[in-house]
Structure 1
Amino acid sequence: MTRKMKRKKMIINFWNYHHNKMNRSNNNNNNNNNNNKNSNNNSKNNNK
């Protein structure tokens, strides 16, 4: 592998890693929001 190729590969790995990290945290936030909505709905139903 030439030096140039090695560098390109490192940059791609770096980007992949960071995008994965961002995606994961977004997914977690969405899940938390959905859970909160569900629990709110449940408590409304119980109050009827």
Structure 2
Amino acid sequence: MLELLRDRVYLRYWLAVVVSFLGDAITRVTLIYVAATLTDPSS
């Protein structure tokens, strides 16, 4: 596994995948928050 991380091309690919997953997670949390605040029955 560590040999793969020494390969620059693979490391850049792996970092791009991690950033993409983080962006997806932030988007999902934001969408859930916005949907919850817009449909809040108490307001």
TM-score, L = length of structure 1: 0.66
Which of the pair has more CA radius of gyration?
A: 1
- Could you tell me which runs of 5 or more consecutive residues in structure 2 were left unpaired when the two chains were aligned: 1-5
- Could you tell me which runs of 5 or more consecutive residues in structure 1 were left unpaired when the two chains were aligned: 1-6
1-structure distance, mates of 2:42, 2:7? 56
* Aligned-pair CA distance for 1:20: 0.7
Which gives a bigger RCO, structure 1 or 2 (Cα 8 Å, sep 6+)?
Answer: 2
Q: Give me the identity figure in percent.
A: 5
Number of equivalences: 38
2-structure distance, mates of 1:8, 1:15? 10
**How well do the aligned residues superpose, as a CA RMSD in angstroms?**
1.6
Structure ranking higher in helix proportion: 1
TM-score, L = length of structure 2: 0.72
